[in-house]
Amino acid sequence: MHFELSDLRIFVAVAQSPSLTQGAKRAHLSVAATSARIKSLEGQLNARLLYRDSRGVTLTPAGETLLKHARLILRQVDYAKHEFAQQASGMVGHIRIFSNTTAITEFMPEVLARFLSDHPAVTVDLQERLSRDIVRGVLEGSADLGLIAGPVGAQEIDVIHYSTDRLLLAVPKGHPLASATDAQRSTPASTDATSDDEPKVRNQHGVSFTKTLNYPHIGLREGSTLYDLVTRQVSRLGKALPLRVQASSYEGICRMIEAGVGIGIIPESAAVRHQATMQFETVPLKDAWAIRERSILVRELDAVPECVRALVTAISASGNSASKQAD
């Protein structure tokens, strides 16, 4: 079996398009030529790759499998090109990152500012995704690295821990739940038995998530990682989330809370930053899921270009520095 890289690129272009016509345009070929190349691939694999109808094209199960492998093959070819380009003219390359909301808003701007200043020939595509999509993107090769908080349910990728993410409850000044802030907030977390997919730690002091459901919440928009996490916890409890307002940023959430509109769950890093300019209080959450390990995901660290490894190092160093400052 012999694959032409050009055929794989054409197939990926079609697979990521709603129709053969659009795929052919992306591949800079005629529709007839594109169709012939796809049929040639189907003949080599002895499998149908696309369903074609009047509405466009969709992938068959065999097509889904080939798309996953084609992305990885083409990404690895690009890596090889970048490696040789780096040897010839210094560190160059393009890095695609799938990240959760907290990483994008709280620390990646500073990390990227320093990294890109040191490596002016490197470009970055930073996209916000849900945790499951971050893992899938790294596995399938559509992202060079992922930034995630919480457990990673995949064994085929390298997971590099870089910091701990603590979620807090933010409340207006004088809120009934604010009294929990007086209960030894600096006491270390304790070991506690939890399910296999949750951290083995729990805050001793503060408020349980269940109790917060008696008050209106301010949350992030649907599609954000934190929104997805909170709604999953509510679903596990068999309750409804009393969501009053959805904001597009942690700053928006904090301003709503400061104004007394409701309460909200935000990362500790966001709370510290916005308390410098706003008036609200924070309360520790007792629940184990409120303490999550932050990780960098890479399909195979030794195989990625030097620029990706350098960025992994920069993110890890930033996480270690933040942890020391918190201590």
Q: Output the pTM of the full model.
A: 0.62
Task: At 28, give phi and psi (nearest 5°).
Answer: 60, 45
Domain boundaries of the chain, sorted by first residue? 5-62, 71-161+293-326, 165-292
pLDDT at 192 (0 to 100): 41
Mean pLDDT in each 10-residue stretch from start to end of the chain (327 residues)?
80 87 86 87 87 84 89 80 60 88 90 93 91 89 90 84 92 89 42 39 70 95 87 93 93 96 94 94 93 91 87 88 49
pLDDT at 43 (0 to 100): 85
- CATH entry 3.30.413.10 includes domain 5-62: no
**How many other CB atoms are there within 10 angstroms of residue 32's CB atom?**
10
The CATH code that applies to domain 165-292 is 3.40.190.10
pLDDT at 108 (0 to 100): 93
As a whole number of angstroms, the distance between CA 263 and CA 298 comes to: 36
- CATH entry 3.40.190.10 includes domain 71-161+293-326: yes
Q: Which two tokens stand for residue 233?
A: 């916890």
Q: What is the per-residue burial (b if ≥16 Cβ within 10 Å, else e) of 224-258?
A: bbbbbbbeebbeeeeeebebeebbeebebbbbbbb
Do the domains 71-161+293-326 and 165-292 sit in the same CATH topology, yes or no?
A: yes
The residues that bridge with 163 in the sheet, in sequence order, are 294
pLDDT at 188 (0 to 100): 38
Query: Considering just the CA atoms, what is the radius of gyration of the chain in Å?
Result: 23
pLDDT at 173 (0 to 100): 94
- Alpha-carbon dihedral 313, 318, 324, 327, rounded to 10 degrees: -130
